[in-house]
Amino acid sequence: MPPIDVETPFDAGRFFGAMLEKTNLVVYLKDSDGRYIYVNPRYEALSGVPARLILGKKDADLFPPAVAELFRTQDAEVAARRGPMQFEEAIPLPSGTLSFVTEKFPLLDASGRVYAVGGFCAEVTAQDRRARESEDETQTLMKAIPDIFYRLDARMNLVDWNKVFEEVSGYGPQELKGMNALEFFRQDKGAIADGIREAVEKGHAFREGRFLTRDGRELPYFWSGAALRHPDGSLRGLVGVGRDLAARKREDRNLLTIQKLESLGLMAGGIAHDFNNLLTTVLGNLSLLQDGGALAPEHREVVERTLNAALKARHLTKQLLTFSKGGAPQKTVSPVAPLLREASMFVSSGSNAKCVFEFAEHLPLVEVDRGQLAQVVHNLVINAQQAMPEGGVIEVQADSVEVCADGPGSPPAGRYVRVVVKDSGPGIADEDLDKVFDPYFTTKREGRGLGLATSRSIVEMHGGRISIASRAGAGATVTILLPARPDAQVPPDPAAARASGGSGRVLVMDDEPEVAFVLAYILKKLGYATQSVCDGAKALEAYCAAREKDPFCAVVMDLTIQGGMGGKEAVKKLLALDPKAKVIVSSGYSDDRTLSDYAAHGFAASLSKPYTVAEVAQALAAVLAV
């Protein structure tokens, strides 16, 4: 190559002209009227039309109307913007339709008037498109991965990463670019270097290493790496992910907790069922004694006290089932103030915290599962007590509010009873406030993080909302909104009402002999004749046999029969035989949805075990009155 004569002036025109003639880019220039005033050889080659037939023409002379209009609109936009713009389009040419990425730019004269619009077009090949799609998929994958994702070049410097990498490391994008992989490790550099060598030699590797963050923390992470290679086999770099080992351990602990809770739920359901069957015998006999009328006053008081204790035991089994397994609430219309007072005093008894009550007058009624709502109050009062280990005041308030419009997180418009539980403890940290209702989140050493999560579940199952507000040093305030029932009336308390009798034959289906005996005795006391069977098959047989001679006016079916047909299956077959049959479902599984939605399963009423004489009388009276 001859030496360059530095004395010769640089001819920019010739240089750029030669470049335009040789480039693989399509280059063109149009005047202010849209006529082509220059096209380079690449334009001629791709279009298959010589420049002499293009120059002086407009797009409308060369392309279909839709394409010509698109180009005219783009040129007008570039001229109006007075700056470059990029477009991607498919252009029909004699050789076929080709895709281009075009950079268009305006040319301005000294007065600022646009006198021409030029363009550089790069053809987008199928290979380019596949590469772009692959890159888009990679970027999407990087965003979707909840772990650290990274890509290194052949020198093990960062070239790509996801947002999680930035969040965990504490570095910004400009700082991360080009950082060497080993810079993120201090004590584990040797192990990570060995892992990199193994990934390069064998194609992949796995290592544990403490990830060094910008602020000096070392986080336990599990790393994977896989080699990327060029078509010729040379190393292009590494790609891999990093998983938070601490989070993995938390997930394992949470999974174990879930499994324990599921086991507890199964165990609690079985225990509650058996206990409720035993309690049915106790409660039934006690209520028979109370209703007998032959007791001496001193004996009546003993029976009443024992009966109240048995009713509280029934309440506890319902709470156990709700906590361990959930379930649809069995709602009754109730005043909220007595329930709040009783539940608060029950759980605060014997503690050094004092409950103070403030209830508005004439509070509307609510429709709630009393046991479930009591559990919510228990959880909130216990949390307040634990926030004030040295003692203090827990304020329990209730009033009515009107929600006028729906909003994010708010319930539908309407009237609500607002329940507030407020403590004077140290409050909740700002960073924890959004997480207090998350399952398993707790700041207590011995806590399990289930109280508020369970409470939210119960409140929302009642169509309400629960929220918490707190400031450091100013305690915490929990607010519950429950839908009001201002037009409802409190139903008579079956435990307080005198049992009313009846007549007719009642079929009792229960596989527990003691329960069947007590229920039959209660029914006889109320004036009914009875027959008892132990499963659904025998119930169907007895019902059919009695239809012609002395039919049953009602049937009481246990929901669960061990080793036999239970109430849910039996009622379907019974109604197929007699659509007018009046069947009451009974169960010790008080959380079963069949009890709360009995009509959907074909039953006429429900009777939760254990029950009193008055509750049995009320259930029979309700179904026979229809």
Distance CA 378, CA 348 (A): 9
Q: Mean pLDDT, to the nearest integer, of 99-128?
A: 82
pLDDT score recorded for residue 592? 59
Distance CA 88, CA 99 (A): 7
Q: Where are the beta strands (DSSP E) in 451-608?
A: 465-470, 476-485, 505-509, 529-533, 554-558, 583-587, 605-608
pLDDT score recorded for residue 498? 47
Q: Mean pLDDT, to the nearest integer, of 514-542?
A: 91
Over residues 193-236, the pLDDT tens digits come to 898 899 888 888 888 889 999 998 988 888 888 888 888 888 98
Q: Which CATH code of 3.30.70.360, 3.40.50.300, 3.40.190.10, 3.30.565.10 fits the domain covering 336-485? A: 3.30.565.10
pLDDT score recorded for residue 135? 62
Rg, C-alpha atoms of the chain:
40
pLDDT of residue 163 exceeding 60, the answer is: yes
Residue 1 pLDDT class (50, 70, 90 cuts): very low
Structure tokens, 24? 């693989």
Task: Look at 14-28, 35-49, 216-230, 468-482 and tell me which has the smallest mean pLDDT.
Answer: 14-28
Distances from the Cα of 456 to the Cαs of 14, 112, 372, 419, in angstroms? 78, 66, 11, 13
pLDDT of residue 142 exceeding 70, the answer is: no
pLDDT of residue 624 exceeding 80, the answer is: yes
Distance CA 448, CA 439 (A): 8
Average pLDDT in the chain? 81
Q: Which CATH code of 3.30.450.20, 3.30.1360.120, 1.10.10.10, 3.40.50.970 fits the domain covering 135-229? A: 3.30.450.20
Structure tokens, 266? 């199964």
Task: Look at 1-10, 26-35, 41-50, 223-232 and tell me which has the smallest mean pLDDT.
Answer: 1-10
Cα angle, residue 510 at apex, residues 509 and 516 outer, rounded to 5°: 100
Q: Mean pLDDT, to the nearest integer, of 546-558?
A: 91
- Residue 47: CA count within 13 A, CB half-sphere: 21
Q: Mean pLDDT, to the nearest integer, of 229-253?
A: 81
Residue 395 pLDDT class (50, 70, 90 cuts): very high
Evaluate whether 59 touches 71 at the Cβ level (below 8 Å).
Answer: yes
Peptide bond into 486 cis (omega under 30): no
Residue 458 pLDDT class (50, 70, 90 cuts): confident
Distance CA 332, CA 615 (A): 14
Evaluate whether 229 touches 236 at the Cβ level (below 8 Å).
Answer: yes
Q: Thinking of the domain 505-624, which architecture would CATH place it in?
A: 3-Layer(aba) Sandwich (3.40)
Residue 441 pLDDT class (50, 70, 90 cuts): low
Q: Do domains 12-124 and 336-485 have the same CATH topology?
A: no
Q: Which residues lie below 8 Å from residue 20, measured CB to CB, with a gap of 6+?
A: 27, 40
Task: Report, in this order, helix, strand and coil percent for the chain, each rounded to 5.
Answer: 45, 25, 30
Q: Mean pLDDT, to the nearest integer, of 170-176?
A: 91
Distances from the Cα of 524 to the Cαs of 342, 550, 613, in angstroms? 35, 16, 11
Backbone φ, ψ for residue 67 (5° rounding):
-70, -40
pLDDT of residue 488 exceeding 80, the answer is: no
Conformational region of residue 156, where left means phi above 0, alpha means psi within -120 to 50, and beta covers everything else? left
Q: Which residue bears the tokens 């009754």? A: 332
Task: Look at 97-106, 298-307, 334-343 and tell me which has the smallest mean pLDDT.
Answer: 298-307
% of the chain exceeding 70 in pLDDT = 79
β-sheet bridge partners, residue 597: none
Instruction: Read off the pTM.
Output: 0.46
pLDDT of residue 94 exceeding 70, the answer is: no
Residue 360 pLDDT class (50, 70, 90 cuts): very high
Conformational region of residue 558, where left means phi above 0, alpha means psi within -120 to 50, and beta covers everything else? beta
pLDDT score recorded for residue 494? 45
pLDDT score recorded for residue 452? 76
Over residues 404-434, the pLDDT tens digits come to 866 556 678 889 999 999 988 888 777 676 6
Residue 496 pLDDT class (50, 70, 90 cuts): very low
Distance CA 332, CA 69 (A): 71
Distance CA 580, CA 80 (A): 81
Distance CA 602, CA 570 (A): 10
Over residues 529-547, the pLDDT tens digits come to 999 999 999 999 999 999 8
Distance CA 288, CA 524 (A): 11
The full set of domain ranges for the chain reads: 12-124, 135-229, 336-485, 505-624
Q: Mean pLDDT, to the nearest integer, of 273-284?
A: 74
Q: Mean pLDDT, to the nearest integer, of 494-511?
A: 73
Residue 108 parent element (H or E): strand 96-108
pLDDT score recorded for residue 321? 60
Distance CA 429, CA 245 (A): 26
Structure tokens, 563? 């080793």
Long-range contacts of range 488-491, CB-CB < 8 Å, 24 or more positions apart?
488/333, 488/365, 488/367, 489/333, 489/365, 490/333, 490/334, 490/335, 490/365, 491/332, 491/333
pLDDT score recorded for residue 534? 92
Distance CA 387, CA 400 (A): 27
Evaluate whether 459 touches 480 at the Cβ level (below 8 Å).
Answer: yes
Evaluate whether 221 touches 148 at the Cβ level (below 8 Å).
Answer: yes
Q: Thinking of the domain 12-124, which architecture would CATH place it in?
A: 2-Layer Sandwich (3.30)
Distance CA 463, CA 411 (A): 8
| Strand-pair category, 554-558 with 583-587 | parallel
